[in-house]
A and B are shown apart, each in its own frame.
Chain A
Amino acid sequence: MNQIVDVLIIGSGASGAAVAWSLAGTRMKILCLEQGDWVKQSDFPSNGRDWEARRYGDFDISPNRRARPTDYPVNDDNSPMKVANFNGVGGGTIMYTAHFPRMHPSDFRVRSLDGVADDWPVDYAMLEPFFAENDRMMGVSGLAGDPAYPPKQLPMPPLPLGKTGTRYARAMNKLGWHWWPSDSTIATTEYDGRAQCINLGHCTPGCAQGAKASTDITYWPHAIRAGVELRPRCRVREITTNEHGMASGAIYYDADGVERFQPAEMVILACNGIGTPRLLLNSASSRFPNGLANSSGLVGKNLMLHPWPQVRGYIDERVDGDRAPMLSLWSKEFYETDPARDFVRGYTLQFHRGTGVVNEAITSAAVGRLPWGQDHHRVYRDLVYRRLQIGIACEDLPEEHNRVTLDPVLKDSHGIPAPRIDYTISENTRRMMEHGIARAEEILTAAGANNLYTSRTILNSPGHLLGTARMGIDPERSVVNEWGRCHDVKNLFIVDGSIWVTSGGVNPTSTIQALALYIADSIKQRLATLFD
Chain B
Amino acid sequence: MRTDPKTMLSPAESRDLRCVAGMMIPPSAAFGVPGADDAAIFADITASLGRDFADVRQALGALAALSGGAFADLDEARRAAVAEAFQARGGAALVTLTRVILQCYYRDDRVVRSLDLEPRPPFPKGHMLEQGDWSLLDPVRARPKMWRDVPPR
Contact = CB atoms under 8 A, between A and B. Distances in A.
Contacts of A373: 23-24, 26
Interface string A156-197: 000011110110011011001011110000000000000000
Contacts of A323: 122, 127, 129
Contact of A147 (B103, B104, B143, B148): B143
Interface in A44-65: 44, 46-53, 56-57, 65
B68 interface: no
A162 B129 contact: yes
Contacts, number: 176
B132 A372 contact: no
A198 interface: yes
A57 B51 contact: yes
A3 B35 CA distance: 63
Label chain B's interface by main secondary structure.
Answer: loop
A297 interface: no
A162 to B, nearest CB: 5
Nearest to B145: A147
B28 interface: yes
Contacts of A320: 129
A524 interface: no
Given A105-B147, A372-B23, A324 B127 contact: yes
A47 B102 contact: no
Interface in A177-234: 178-181, 198-202, 208-209
B28 A366 contact: no
B133 A209 contact: no
Contacts of B104: 53
Interface stretch (B4-12, B69-77, B111-119): B111-119
B54 interface: no
A336 interface: yes
A169 B132 contact: yes
B148 A372 contact: no
Interface string B22-38: 01111010110100000
Interface stretch (A91-99, A107-115, A443-451, A489-497): A107-115
Contacts of A149: 147
Nearest to B44: A50
Contacts of B128: 199
A200 B124 CA distance: 8
B31 A377 contact: yes
Nearest to B143: A147
Given A166-B136, A202-B122, A374-B28, A365 B98 contact: yes
A150 B148 CA distance: 10
Contacts of B1: none
A46 B120 CA distance: 10
Interface stretch (A17-25, A243-251, A354-362, A392-400): A354-362
B58 interface: no
Interface in B100-153: 102-107, 112, 115, 117, 119-134, 136-137, 139-141, 143-151, 153
Given A147-B143, A362-B103, A372-B83, A113 B130 contact: no
B87 A372 contact: yes
A147 B140 contact: yes
Nearest to A374: B26
B79 to A, nearest CB: 11
A257 interface: no
B121 A46 contact: yes
Interface string A138-153: 0000010101111000
Interface residues of B, number: 56
Nearest to B148: A106
Contacts of B130: 160-163
A112 B151 contact: yes
Contacts of B141: 145, 147
A104 interface: yes
Given A199-B126, A362-B98, A372-B87, A150 B147 contact: yes
Nearest to A106: B148
Interface in A304-350: 320, 322-324, 332, 335-336
Nearest to A360: B106
B150 A108 contact: yes
A261 interface: no
B127 A105 contact: no
B117 A357 contact: yes
B39 interface: no
A50 B48 contact: yes
Contact of A104 (B23, B112, B127, B147): B147
Given A201-B127, A362-B99, A365-B102, 15 more contacts: A46-B121, A50-B103, A104-B148, A161-B136, A162-B130, A179-B137, A199-B122, A332-B146, A336-B148, A357-B115, A361-B105, A365-B98, A373-B24, A373-B26, A376-B24
Interface of B: 23-26, 28, 30-31, 33, 48, 50-51, 83, 87, 95, 98-99, 102-107, 112, 115, 117, 119-134, 136-137, 139-141, 143-151, 153
Interface of A: 44, 46-53, 56-57, 65, 67, 104-106, 108-109, 112-113, 123-124, 143, 145, 147-150, 160-163, 165-166, 169-170, 172-173, 176, 178-181, 198-202, 208-209, 320, 322-324, 332, 335-336, 357-358, 361-362, 365-366, 372-374, 376-377, 381, 384
9 contacts: A47-B121, A48-B121, A105-B149, A108-B150, A109-B150, A200-B122, A365-B98, A372-B87, A374-B28
What are the 6 tightest A-B residue pairs by CB atom distance, in nearest-first order? A161-B132, A198-B126, A323-B127, A200-B122, A208-B123, A199-B127
